[in-house]
Structure 1
Amino acid sequence: MNGNLRLPIRRLVGASALALSLAAPVLAQSPYTPVAEEFTGGLYAAPSGGTAIYPGSAATISGYGLIPGQEITLMRGNTVLNPDGPLIANDEGEVSFDLTVDEEAALGLQPIVAIAENPAAATVFELKVSPQVPLSGEDLFEIASQPVVPGLYQVIYNESSDALYVTSSVGRPPISQSELVKLSPETLEIVGRATPPAAPARPDGSDGGLFGVYGVWVDDTNGHVWATTTRQDSLAVYDKDDLSLVKQFDSGSVTHPRDVVIDEGRGRAYVSTSFTKAINVFDTNSLEPLEPIEITSTVRGEEFGARSIAVYPEAGKLFSASLNTPEVAVVDLDSGEVRVLPLPGAKASSDAAYDPQDGLIFVASQASDNLLIVSEETGEVLHDVTVGAGALSVAFEPVSRRAFVANRGAGTITVVNTDGEIVANLEAGSYPNHVRADGKGNVWAVNKSQGQDDPNGDRIWRITAVAR
């Protein structure tokens, strides 16, 4: 009997609904749903199974710190990137979504809008589509490479000791593995090594790990090797012969230092602070801090981020590329005058080099995948060279008069002449991290690894132009 009642009830409900629809306007659900005070958490795009996102390659969108159950729709322009439905944040506030970037995708930082519901909010993040620069010109160079130790970061050659000094630190704090390593420039074999001392406990009382070493420079006058101990916001000074520790600066003495460069004639050590406008200065004889150099950004409302330092004592000049703003600073080391030059076309600049002969500044930028060649005199950008994904480090080699750019994402070192022409694009293993010229025709480079069993990672490279 219950079954016989269902059909009439359905008809009655349908007739009633039809009558109501004809008698009154349809009440649509309001698009103005409850909103969050702000967009909590964040989203980012990363390559899927590679080191960069290229046209035609796969990418993964990941979200973190979202509100559990929140629904996320991704849009690029008018196109919904997840057309099968919103992404639902799990109990940990996470989402993940795989997509393929089409072959016709334009290069650059693509803005992705994330629209959230339950509750409503929105944010914008970037998906960087990088260029693929073909390998070329390997026959123009003699290249030697050798694995060293895990976590390589920077390298410098010292002529008086005829040795290379390399820093290494593995992972994130607390750093449990770090070394200052001394190598033979001929064989690339290790001839000396030192492990940094233990760092103080972290604020929560947990193990502080080691004073891991990152940036490196040699002071011949005092027989020292300076290193930045970035994770503890400090510095260290070692003996350049036996690598014994001379001084470990207290934690907090320098804000997030990256580069350290010595001007022996002026008796100064200059230290970059990565995200702030200050370049810290130390007396290389007393090892005491001096008045810092401060760089004021010309971009309204922004702060210069002194990511890198390049010092040319004979010219009396210091150069620093800004991570935060599209600018490079030129500091007169005698007068203290600071000039800030705009860098149209640069995003997240990470390193600078200089050619005193022609007065050219070279700036490598990670987010824009390019090398800018700038006139120091006029500030004009003379050449904007696409070099590869994640242009991280640049060195100017004065013998061949070429700039060498380490492209971390692309896994290459691009060689560019002063006319902005690519001379070569060399395979450089996993995550090239740093390049430095020795003034004798050699360029030294170190890279990092993609894991413990990566045969192409944690290597040192010697690159020398073939005589012709």
Structure 2
Amino acid sequence: MNTPHAEQLRVVANIPVGAKPIGVAVGLSDVYVTNSGEDTVSVIDPSTNGVSATINVGLRPEGVATDPQFGICVSNGGDNTVSMIDRSNAVIATVSVQDLFTPPPGMMRVAVDHFLSRAYVTHRGSGRVSIINLSDEVFFAFPFIDVLGPLGVAVDPTSHRVYVTQPEFNAVSVIDPEPNGVIATIPVGQQPIGIAVDALRRRAYVANSGFNIVSLIDIDTHNVADIDVATGSTGATVDSRGNAYVTQFDGTVKVIDATSGSVSATIPVGSQPAGLALKPDIGRLYVANSGDGTVSVIDLAGG
């Protein structure tokens, strides 16, 4: 995908979804959005820029991740579960992350390692990252890894290491899948939430909600650089060229240029943008606006 000049980046649609949308993930054909205010997932058809289906899930769905073989995983912070959805958009299982310990409802996110067929589920209230094996016939959230106050989560598909933000500790923990433990903790900015990994360039972008910087981590050395983005950030994603996109409290998406490491464009979107996801085959970026119940569609291909 070729990213156009800054002046070509624009919102081409604002799609009404459910109340308080937070998470966004793209599948092989559709886009999935968690509506935390009404316990549903909206399915967006990119060809029409409209909602083609609504899926009932658990209480207060927040995170969402897709897997091309299995389907969709939705983390429900209101009842400490994960809704497992197949590729026909049917809920086939609901997995509890409580085990013998019953944590209070809390914020949850999810990321998938496609190669290892694993879903990693963070639960901020319990201080755990649970692992769900997507290749099992019966799903269990076990084993789990202790991480204090985990929230945002991203997987490096090359090393299969998992990067978890810890808002209360201004840090990112690194989990190695063998032997399923934390191998490093990296100091970043204040109150980190979203994180995105650029595996090709060995980088991770961390959206810090408590200050006006995005932390850029070298995931091989764990060195950290600061990128000034003017205000607090919540979500992050990265494209194939290494350009990063972060959602901002001021109702915008900032574009961070891969070469200069600085902001190259600011794109106005809806109110209180949160999660975002890129559909590279059509050059579109989908942004969940939790404040107004919409998804902004940004054309990155200059069409």
Compared CA separation, residues 466 and 215, structure 1 to 2 (3 A) = same
Aligned counterparts, 1:3-42, within 5 A: none
What does the per-residue CA deviation read over 1:113-167, in whole Å, with 9 as the maximum and x for residues that have no partner? xxxxxxxxxxxxxxxxxxxxxxxxxxxxxxxxxxxxxxxxxxxxxx6xx89xxxx
CA drift at 1:278: 1.0
Is the CA contact (8 Å cut-off) linking 1:397 and 1:442 kept in structure 2? Answer: no
Structure scoring higher RCO (CA < 8 A, sep ≥ 6) equals 2
Residue identity in the other structure for 1:278? T
Tell me which residue corresponds to 1:365. 166
Compared CA separation, residues 276 and 193, structure 1 to 2 (3 A) = same
Tell me which residue corresponds to 1:460. 254
Tell me which residue corresponds to 1:294. 96
Is the CA contact (8 Å cut-off) linking 1:352 and 1:362 kept in structure 2? Answer: yes
CA drift at 1:329: 1.6
Compared CA separation, residues 240 and 184, structure 1 to 2 (3 A) = farther
The structure 1 residue matched to 2:25, chosen from 217, 221, 226, is 217
Secondary structure class of the residue paired with 1:310 = strand
Secondary structure class of the residue paired with 1:367 = helix
Aligned counterparts, 1:395-414, within 5 A: 395-414=196-215
The structure 1 residue matched to 2:61, chosen from 257, 272, 276, is 257
Secondary structure class of the residue paired with 1:429 = coil
Structure 1 position 283 matched with structure 2 position 86: yes
Structure number, greater radius of gyration: 1
What does the per-residue CA deviation read over 1:387-422, in whole Å, with 9 as the maximum and x for residues that have no partner? 121111111110111221111011211011224533
CA drift at 1:240: 0.8
Compared CA separation, residues 281 and 379, structure 1 to 2 (3 A) = closer
Tell me which residue corresponds to 1:334. 135
CA drift at 1:322: 1.4
Is the CA contact (8 Å cut-off) linking 2:194 and 2:207 kept in structure 1? Answer: yes
The structure 1 residue matched to 2:39, chosen from 214, 219, 233, is 233
In 2, distance between residues paired with 1:408 and 1:394?
12
Tell me which residue corresponds to 2:175. 374
What does the per-residue CA deviation read over 1:158-215, in whole Å, with 9 as the maximum and x for residues that have no partner? x6xx89xxxxxxxxxxxxxxxxxxx99983212233234xxxxxxxxxxxxx644332
Give the alignment's TM-score, normalised by structure 1: 0.50
Aligned counterparts, 1:37-48, within 5 A: none
Tell me which residue corresponds to 1:424. 225
Residue identity in the other structure for 2:167? Q
Alignment RMSD (CA, Å): 2.8
What does the per-residue CA deviation read over 1:14-45, in whole Å, with 9 as the maximum and x for residues that have no partner? xxxxxxxxxxxxxxxxxxxxxxxxxxxxxxxx
Task: Name whichever structure is richer in helix by fraction.
Answer: 1
In 1, distance between residues paired with 2:115 and 2:240?
14
Identity %: 17
CA drift at 1:295: 2.2
In 1, distance between residues paired with 2:63 and 2:117?
18
CA drift at 1:248: 2.9
Secondary structure class of the residue paired with 1:399 = coil
Task: Name whichever structure is richer in strand by fraction.
Answer: 2
Aligned counterparts, 1:54-93, within 5 A: none
In 2, distance between residues paired with 1:278 and 1:186?
42
Compared CA separation, residues 213 and 420, structure 1 to 2 (3 A) = same
Structure 1 position 383 matched with structure 2 position 184: yes
Give the alignment's TM-score, normalised by structure 2: 0.75
In 1, distance between residues paired with 2:69 and 2:241?
21
Compared CA separation, residues 280 and 364, structure 1 to 2 (3 A) = same
Is the CA contact (8 Å cut-off) linking 1:257 and 1:274 kept in structure 2? Answer: yes
Tell me which residue corresponds to 2:51. 245
CA drift at 1:237: 1.2
Uncovered stretches (5+) of structure 2, i.e. residues with no partner: 262-303
Secondary structure class of the residue paired with 2:37 = helix
Aligned counterparts, 1:259-274, within 5 A: 259-266=63-70, 268-274=71-77
Secondary structure class of the residue paired with 1:293 = strand
Residues paired across the two proteins, number: 258
Structure 1 position 394 matched with structure 2 position 231: no
Residue identity in the other structure for 2:13? G
Residue identity in the other structure for 1:295? V
Is the CA contact (8 Å cut-off) linking 1:412 and 1:425 kept in structure 2? Answer: yes
Is the CA contact (8 Å cut-off) linking 1:279 and 1:306 kept in structure 2? Answer: no
